[in-house]
Amino acid sequence: MTSVDGQAFKSILACWTAGITVVSVSSDEDWQAITVNSFASVSMEPPLVCMNIANRLDIRRYIAREGHFAISILSDQQLELGKRFAGFYDDKFENRFDGLACETTEDGDPLIPDCMAWLSCGVEHYLNVGENTMFVGSVAGGGWTDDKLPLLYHNRQWGRFLSVEPK
């Protein structure tokens, strides 16, 4: 067995395909959001999800302080929005929400328009783990549509699932 350094770890995890979400939170100051693919379900009863946010990011402090957040699960038609909230186009937008007609959760957290699914969560627990904070959220509300395909991240590439019926 070979030891795993940071570069090897990245290469190994690049083999894992993940959906792309935008995590958002509102505060008295403004809206914050970031693209996240380290998102997973934790429990069905009660409904819990988890995600990891880098400790160096402002949104990490907002979520911990406010105690709530929203998850917008992006469709394959939302590649540019995923990249916008990942910071690819920060030179084009003074505010990443510019031009978006966002609805909000009961806590005021913005939802990405036309996403394929969304969740509204309260922070149940959070734990500093390495360079990140893992947030566990209790699901307070959500919604979805059945007519969209997910935006995916695999091997450092963004893409879509091709729907193929098994024979």
- Report the pLDDT value the prediction gives residue 9, as an integer from 0 to 100: 87
Phi-psi region of 28 (alpha: psi -120 to 50; beta: other; left: phi over 0): alpha
How is the chain split into domains, by residue range? 21-150
Q: Which sign, positive or negative, has the C-alpha torsion 27, 31, 32, 37?
A: positive
Q: What homologous superfamily does CATH list for 21-150?
A: Electron Transport, Fmn-binding Protein; Chain A (2.30.110.10)
User: Residue 55 has which token pair?
Assistant: 């400790």
Other CB atoms within a 10 A radius of the CB of residue 5 amount to 8
**CB-CB contact of 121 with 49 (8 Å):** yes
This prediction has a pTM of: 0.91
The amino acid occupying position 94 is E
Average pLDDT, the chain: 93
Structural contact between residues 54 and 23, judged by C-beta atoms closer than 8 angstroms? no
- Which residues are 21's β-sheet partners? 36, 73
| pLDDT, tens only, 11-53 | 888 888 899 999 999 988 799 999 999 999 999 999 999 999 9
In the chain, the amino acid numbered 56 is R
